[in-house]
């Protein structure tokens, strides 16, 4: 069963809704606090099961690839990140 989004009033990944990507809360405390504040749930403390769906991010927030420097050729190579 897909993991539902923890943002109030978001129905992503519930029964009878299309499956979409969700993200775990960051382990870095400063970023985790920003996420928690942004979702505006009173007294919310994220657990290891809490997720936020892709609908609450902009395209600039999502990193889909990395750029790697090839020392042998001097080229910059863009490599896609694997989805889990």
* pLDDT tens profile 2-28: 788 999 998 887 777 778 889 999 999
How confident is the model at residue 3, as a pLDDT? 84
Half-sphere exposure of 42 (CA within 13 A, CB side): 0
Using 50, 70 and 90 to split pLDDT, how confident is the model at 55? very high
How confident is the model at residue 51, as a pLDDT? 93
- What's the chain's Rg over C-alpha atoms? 16
């Amino acid at each position: 069963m897909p993991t539902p989004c923890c943002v109030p009033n978001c129905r992503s990944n519930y029964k009878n809704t299309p499956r979409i990507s969700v993200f775990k809360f960051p382990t870095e405390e400063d970023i985790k606090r920003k996420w928690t504040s942004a979702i505006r749930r009173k007294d919310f403390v994220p657990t290891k099961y809490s997720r936020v769906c892709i609908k609450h991010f902009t395209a600039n927030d999502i990193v889909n690839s990395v750029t790697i420097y090839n020392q042998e050729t001097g080229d910059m190579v863009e490599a896609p990140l694997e989805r889990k």
